[in-house]
Structures are given as structure tokens and as C-alpha cells.
Structure 1
Amino acid sequence: MTIYQARTDRELIDILRKDDHEAFNEIHERYFEDLLKSAYNILRDRDASMDVVQEVFVWFWEHRQNHHINSVKGYLLTAVKYQSSNHIRNGKVRENFRLANTETSFTVNEESLELKELQSIIKSFTGSLPEKCAEIFRMSREEHLSNKEIAQQLGISEKTVSGQLSRALNKLRSDLGKMHFWMYFFM
């Protein structure tokens, strides 16, 4: 057993903030399989699931200085579920997702309930945004319009659209990170 394996998640986060690669590697080792299973339960595509988990871990490392987390596993699972839904929404696995869902009978399972809960939280979050920001966010995420299409429809610049989306996504990430009950929901 290494010194890192004996550490709690909270201790690892404190060490990680000091740019310690071994702390990151230990977190990766502890939760990689669980995150991959979670992504696969949503996406039903191993390669896409690997991509999602990799994206989450890259983001987790890049933002290591800002982590104030009570449950590392819950935090990472939430990030994987959100990133998986983005993957679907952005069409990266949309066709495979549709085919998988039409070939199987509908059953209520834990993953679909979690995804619906996440979608509900995002919808509630959208209502808390300033009106124009919320409209841009909805057009991007629900209507799947490009920044250029949104800019044309609203008569604003693409840069404004991009800025508003960045603002909304940063607020969403921040809000999800603060939602302790949400993190415990996935434990």
C-alpha cells in the first residue's frame, strides 16, 4: 500500500491543490472504473464513454486549485453524467443513442432517473439566469443551434453569444459543485 492509498479523498484533494500528480493518479485509480460504468450506462458506447471520462479527468486536473469537494466520487459521477448528456446533446453519439433506445423496451432504471433529475436541475438553473443569457442557453442546448445561428436570430454578434454561453456554463458548473445534496444522490 502506498502512502496515497492510505489517504482519504479529502486529504488527496488538499494534496492535489499543490499540483501533486500522485494524488491525482490515486483519485484516477480509485474512481476510473465507476466513472466508466456510469458513462457507459448512459451512452452505451465504450469509446464515447472513455472520451467522456478522459474529458472529466482532464477538467478535474486543470481546475485542481479550485476544488472544495465533500465527496470526490459524487462530484466526479455528477461531472460524468453532465458530460455524457452534453455528448448526447451535441450529437456525438446521438444516432447510437437513438438506435439503442428504440431496440430495447423502456424500463425505468436508476440511470434514466438520474439523467431526468439532472435535466430538471439544469432547467431550474436556466430559469435563474438573466433573460437574454437564458434564451441563448436554451437555443444552444435545447434547439441545438450554433452560435452563428443564434447570433443571426437574435441580431447580436457571435462573440456575445459565446460570452453568454460561457457565463451560463461557468455558473452551472459552480452551482452543481455547490449542490451537496446532488453529489450525495449519486453515492
Structure 2
Amino acid sequence: MGLNHSFKTARKKIVALDADEREVVMAICRDIYQAQVRLTENARPILERCMSNCRGLCCRNIHPADIITEWDLLYILVMAPQMEEAMAACLKRERFFPSDCIFLENGTGPCLFPDNLRPERCIISFCRVEPSVEKEIGRVMGGFSRLIRFFLFRPLRRLSRWLRPLNSAREP
């Protein structure tokens, strides 16, 4: 379906949140952000080596929708809503065939997304397996997993809140 569909879905999910849900999602996204900060700090030498050796090869000749998910887009939109317009403009350049990442500024780089507001796969992927930052990678992945579970179980939580007043009305 492509990233455009994922982008629209992410926006709809954000708009549909009530105040309490928005607060929970913000807290989850802040945790992801903090995990990305720690990962970036601890992986700085690894990232420098990746950039000097590969020069962003992982952003070239890809299907962006295979790397970037609606959860990544949701995370970025929650944390940086001011980026929505720029992201929408990039999505107009999405191609059916492999191409360079559509989120590279001017089509060549650097990445449009600010440091620590990167899609999960972009922030946890290095040129090779890096055991020295496995714990930090796990924290980032765990944060995105919490975000997904929040939305997966959201209908049940809403139903529970709706039923709660009915149950209390029955009690004598």
C-alpha cells in the first residue's frame, strides 16, 4: 500500500486519541526518544564508522515502505507535529520501484528527520551486528513494541471504560 497510506493511517490514529490516550502515547514516544538518545550516544563511534565507510548506503536503492512503518510515522508526528507538511511533501515522491529514501533532504541527504526522531529500523541498523549496543537497541525496539500494543489493545480499553459506568449503575 505504500507509505502514503501508512502516513494517513498514522494521522487518523493521532486525531482519534482522547486526552488521556494522547498523554499515554506522548509518554511512550518520550520513552522511545530517550532510548534513541542513549543509543545514539553509545553508538557514536559506530555511526561515525558507518558514515565514513558506507556514506549512507542503507538509504539508497530501497523500498522506503519496507523500512519505515506507520508506527515510525506516528512516533515522528507525535513528537514533531511541525514536520507533517514536509513529510507529506516527501511522500509525493514515493516510487513503486526501489529508489533513494524519499526522506533525504534534496534527494541526497542528510535525513529529513532530526536526530533521535528516526524510524526504528533506521536508528537500530548498523553496517554489521554490534553487540556493544544491543541493550540500547532493545530499549528502542521495546518502546516501539509498547506503542504498537497500545493501539492494538486500545479498543478493549475503550470498551472497558464504557462498560465501567454500566457495572457501577447495577450495584445496589
Q: Which has the higher contact order (CA 8 A, sep 6+)?
A: 2
Larger relative helix fraction: 1
Per the TM superposition, whether the score is higher than 0.5 is no
